[in-house]
Structure 1
Amino acid sequence: MAAQTLSPLHRPLHHLKPKTVGTQTLTAKLKCSRIIITSKIRAAVIGGGPAGSSAAEALATGGIETFLFERSPEAAKPCGGAIPLCMLDEFSIPHHLIDRRVTHMKIISPSNLTVDFGKTLKSHEFIPMLRREVLDNFLRLRAERLGANLIKALVTRIDVPTTNNSPYIIHYILNNTQNTLAVDVIVGADGANSRVAKAIKAGTYRCAIAFQERIKLPDGKMAYYENLAEMYIGNDVSPDFYAWVFPKCDHVAVGTGTVCSKENIKTLQRGIRARVNSKIRGGTIIKVEAHPIPEHPRPIRVRNRVALVGDAAGYVTKCSGEGIYFAAKSGRMCGEAIVRASESGNRMISEEDLKREYLRKWDDEYITTFRFLDLLQKVFYGSNAGREALVELCGNEYVQRMTFESYLYKKLADGNRWEDLKMVMNTIGSLIRCNVVGREMDEFDKRILAQI
């Protein structure tokens, strides 16, 4: 649509001095006492991880003028780095970005009962392991190449409009200089401590903390983790989650996470190092990382013309702590929703548009999965007895196949009703043998039977 001339009176918050980002001048330009702006809507995405980059790519390719803010492109979030196999094709991720192809995963109980959790993988199946700094950079630069304006700057404040069609004003620091940008729509992809969420009063949520050390091992010991990932559970490594050893390109990531004992995170980290001491002895710590991880969705994920995605929205699953796929998926869904609702940027959108086109579709597809995994975590991660029962169940090949098919392809695996019933009975038997009883077990029983 052609540019139009508006008096500052019509959209007073657009009457801003134009700013230059790198070599690119923003669309708004002063002309005498009047302002020329494009009549298409303008979107800002705050945060350049998988969620933000995927949202920016969807917006830009959908014809919307898009600005992607990332304060620290070189930084990497502490993360195991595992993604489901289907994400490679769904998000066109080149295979050369993969550090390791994990085909064996061991889960180790508090008593050191060990189960190989990869027996049912097919010959072409594996769990891709990537470094976040590599994946995030690839997605971010692709969004820029496809039309998003990448701004390497710190967003300091967001002014929320008081009228329906007035713009949001983003304040940011670029090259030690204060700048502003007026936009019509904002996608908040700025993590657990989201500034966007605070600006729209989206409410709070509980956060876990993930702590991780990257350890470079001697060649002989690194060979052990060639295609192997390990999960350790027990009160010594986490009272409500698990610890991990995940292989990267030339090192392993050794870490843990917890909600209820965040102040003791370093003690728990010493616990996982003690459990794997013989396997990592002689290694050198090359990086130490810590980061908050949301435990459940925020009370508000859409307000007016602002939507939250990824960690900012609280899209991290219980039990597994998986967040990369759901971050990228929510970002893409949100970006595509804005394109649809705005008719490729040609009409202003509303809160109802975002709820209908993004939030309801997301909840319809994924909210049941999140709630079910929340229940599993309460049942199995609440005590060492429950953890022993979990590892015992993981030895069952049917459980492994159903788990891996659901994880690798992000769709409900085709099960067998008789095998499903046996799985329920085996679960109950394991819980009884490990002395796990109470309301959690009863609720687990009801939920599982309802799926059959």
Structure 2
Amino acid sequence: MKFLLASALLCSASAFAPVTPSLPTIKSSLDAYKVAVVGGGPSGACAAEVFAQEPNIETILFERKFDNAKPCGGAIPLCMIGEFDLPETVVDRKVRKMKMISPSDMEVDIGDTLKPDEYIGMCRREILDGYLRDRAVEYGAQPVNALVTAIDVPSDHKVNKDSKYNIHYQEFTPGSSVGTAKNMEVDLIVGADGANSRVAKAMDAGEYNFAIAFQERIKISDEKMEFYEEMAEMYVGDDVSPDFYGWVFPKYDHVGVGTGTVVNRPAIKQYQKAIRERAGSKIEGGKIIKVEAHPIPEHPRPRRVQGRIALVGDAAGYVTKCSGEGIYFAAKSGRMAAENIVKLMEGGSRLPSQEEIESTYIKDYDRAYGPTYAVLDILQKVFYSSNGAREAFVELCKSKYVQQVTFDSYLYKKVQGNNPLDDLKLLGETIGCLIKGYSIAKPDQEFSNPVESLKRI
């Protein structure tokens, strides 16, 4: 699950020639600067909402499909409900219980430490994204239903504030399979167009490793859905993933059953078959109503700002290791980027430089969440490296202290109530669990993936 034990335990060189930035261009409020937000998911919608509230900024929101249902587990933390003023109607299920299931099928139930009003929100992305996008439009963002195909980046865009970015796109046209080719000149771009970001490609943001997430939406009987009323499940084992986990998450009238992997992407369907088998009778007889697959970034891109182009969300690589959480960080990064840029634009009277965006948005985001990404990277290597470590991972979840810190960390995005003595005790328990786990674990299956291994960064 997206909150995982790891949440608990935690608690660039430019692609263009270096230049000397020029002084900001001052603009009359009668001639508004045009900002394009490419991508209408949580990161893009939250960025567009901020820009749209500035009367002297013209905000364009590009989205390929307004009914898009991104493949995603769909878990959001409780703090996101209040922080982003979300109605509870976007939440399909309030998860208050979790089953952690080890490679040997040992089950550990967690959730007893939750207060009555605490829960993990389970959402369908088409509902959550649609709400955030519609709100941005209500504030004044101009929606464009189109696929951005290319972006012309002027060679002098870092020093010449009068230079424009030319966005080429295919606008949806009823009755046309390809749409209508158009282009638009803008002054600033926020790339929120996901892991395969065309904005990132245009600005030469650099590559990153990525996981493949595969999920099936399965409609099960009402009787079987009762089990998942407030319950989600997380399965670990090299049968369901050699470096991640499998999940069963409840949605409105179905369950999302999925898995993911970075190190052996060609075998993703094999791992998906295994997670269905592990869930067994709980989803038996269910009807697959939708099959989804999507790349998930494994770490931030080498460059997230170039000139007046900034990346947010998956396009920037803001998905945590170990837990795979991305929705909150997408929304947060979109809002942080836009708020800092709007402030730098001083009422729409000037354009910010690359250095200014880096020293505000990038610096603030990395300061707030950089340690989280680093620690979760380490924890993924420790606990998802072998079946022995996975057995230890689930065994540790029996600890009420681990459960308390897990939920505090995930629900509120900060570690609460840490006790040095309990932390020291936890270290001892971790070592003991690892010893026990390796003694009872079945050997990991070997696999060969030389071609994709050569592609890894």
Normalization by structure 1: what TM-score?
0.87
> In the aligned structure 2, how far is the partner of 1:56 from the partner of 1:334?
10
- Which structure ranks higher in relative contact order (CA pairs < 8 Å, sequence separation ≥ 6)? 2
Match of 1:57 in 2: 49
Match of 1:247 in 2: 250
1:40 alignment partner AA: A
2:180 is the alignment partner of 1:188: no
> In the aligned structure 2, how far is the partner of 1:120 from the partner of 1:93?
25
> In the aligned structure 2, how far is the partner of 1:227 from the partner of 1:400?
17
> In the aligned structure 2, how far is the partner of 1:184 from the partner of 1:152?
20
Match of 2:203 in 1: 200
2:221 is the alignment partner of 1:218: yes
Deviations 1:231-270 (A, max 9, x none): 0000110000000000000000000000011101000000
Match of 1:145 in 2: 138
- Judge conservation of contact 1:62–1:336 (CA < 8 Å) in 2: no
> In the aligned structure 1, how far is the partner of 2:282 from the partner of 2:437?
29
- Judge conservation of contact 1:208–1:259 (CA < 8 Å) in 2: yes
> In the aligned structure 1, how far is the partner of 2:415 from the partner of 2:48?
29
1:173 alignment partner AA: Q
In structure 2, the residue corresponding to 1:401 is in which secondary structure? helix
1:60 alignment partner AA: A
Cα pair distance change 1:222/1:364, threshold 3 Å? same
- Judge conservation of contact 1:393–1:399 (CA < 8 Å) in 2: yes
> In the aligned structure 1, how far is the partner of 2:110 from the partner of 2:237?
18
> In the aligned structure 2, how far is the partner of 1:62 from the partner of 1:186?
16
Deviations 1:189-221 (A, max 9, x none): 000000000001000000100000000001111
Q: CA deviation at 1:113?
A: 0.8
Where structure 2 has 5 or more consecutive residues not aligned to the other structure, the ranges are 1-27, 174-178, 440-457
2:101 alignment partner AA: I
- Judge conservation of contact 1:67–1:148 (CA < 8 Å) in 2: yes
- Judge conservation of contact 1:191–1:311 (CA < 8 Å) in 2: yes
2:164 is the alignment partner of 1:167: yes
> In the aligned structure 2, how far is the partner of 1:126 from the partner of 1:420?
25
2:80 is the alignment partner of 1:87: yes
Deviations 1:266-312 (A, max 9, x none): 00000001111211111111000000000000011111111000000
1:327 alignment partner AA: A
> In the aligned structure 2, how far is the partner of 1:408 from the partner of 1:325?
11
Q: CA deviation at 1:385?
A: 0.3
In structure 2, the residue corresponding to 1:434 is in which secondary structure? helix
> In the aligned structure 2, how far is the partner of 1:435 from the partner of 1:116?
22
> In the aligned structure 2, how far is the partner of 1:412 from the partner of 1:66?
36
> In the aligned structure 2, how far is the partner of 1:413 from the partner of 1:407?
10
Share of identical aligned residues, percent?
60
> In the aligned structure 1, how far is the partner of 2:381 from the partner of 2:348?
44
2:427 is the alignment partner of 1:424: yes
> In the aligned structure 1, how far is the partner of 2:192 from the partner of 2:354?
18
In structure 2, the residue corresponding to 1:276 is in which secondary structure? helix
In structure 2, the residue corresponding to 1:256 is in which secondary structure? strand
Match of 1:40 in 2: 32
Deviations 1:108-131 (A, max 9, x none): 000011111212111111111110
Match of 1:158 in 2: 151
2:113 alignment partner AA: T
Match of 2:71 in 1: 78
In structure 2, the residue corresponding to 1:234 is in which secondary structure? coil
Q: CA deviation at 1:344?
A: 2.5
2:370 alignment partner AA: I
Deviations 1:66-85 (A, max 9, x none): 10000111121111111000
* Equivalent of 2:241 in 234, 238, 260: 238
2:151 is the alignment partner of 1:129: no
Where structure 1 has 5 or more consecutive residues not aligned to the other structure, the ranges are 1-35, 437-452
Which is further off, 156-165 or 390-399? 156-165
Q: CA deviation at 1:38?
A: 4.8
- Judge conservation of contact 2:74–2:125 (CA < 8 Å) in 1: yes
In structure 2, the residue corresponding to 1:241 is in which secondary structure? coil
Q: CA deviation at 1:103?
A: 0.6
1:151 alignment partner AA: V
- Judge conservation of contact 1:108–1:115 (CA < 8 Å) in 2: yes
Q: CA deviation at 1:384?
A: 0.3
In structure 1, the residue corresponding to 2:71 is in which secondary structure? coil
1:296 alignment partner AA: H
Match of 2:8 in 1: none
- Judge conservation of contact 2:29–2:348 (CA < 8 Å) in 1: no
Cα pair distance change 1:114/1:407, threshold 3 Å? same
- Judge conservation of contact 2:29–2:349 (CA < 8 Å) in 1: no
Match of 1:368 in 2: 371
1:313 alignment partner AA: A
> In the aligned structure 2, how far is the partner of 1:230 from the partner of 1:51?
27
In structure 2, the residue corresponding to 1:236 is in which secondary structure? coil
Task: State the aligned residue count.
Answer: 401
Match of 1:382 in 2: 385
Match of 1:112 in 2: 105
In structure 1, the residue corresponding to 2:136 is in which secondary structure? helix
Q: CA deviation at 1:37?
A: 10
> In the aligned structure 1, how far is the partner of 2:412 from the partner of 2:394?
23
In structure 1, the residue corresponding to 2:244 is in which secondary structure? strand
* Equivalent of 1:311 in 302, 309, 314: 314
For the pair shown, the structure with the greater C-alpha radius of gyration is: 1
Q: CA deviation at 1:435?
A: 3.7
- Judge conservation of contact 1:341–1:357 (CA < 8 Å) in 2: no
> In the aligned structure 2, how far is the partner of 1:120 from the partner of 1:240?
28
> In the aligned structure 1, how far is the partner of 2:285 from the partner of 2:170?
43
In structure 2, the residue corresponding to 1:322 is in which secondary structure? coil
2:437 is the alignment partner of 1:434: yes
In structure 1, the residue corresponding to 2:325 is in which secondary structure? coil
Match of 2:271 in 1: 268
Match of 2:284 in 1: 281
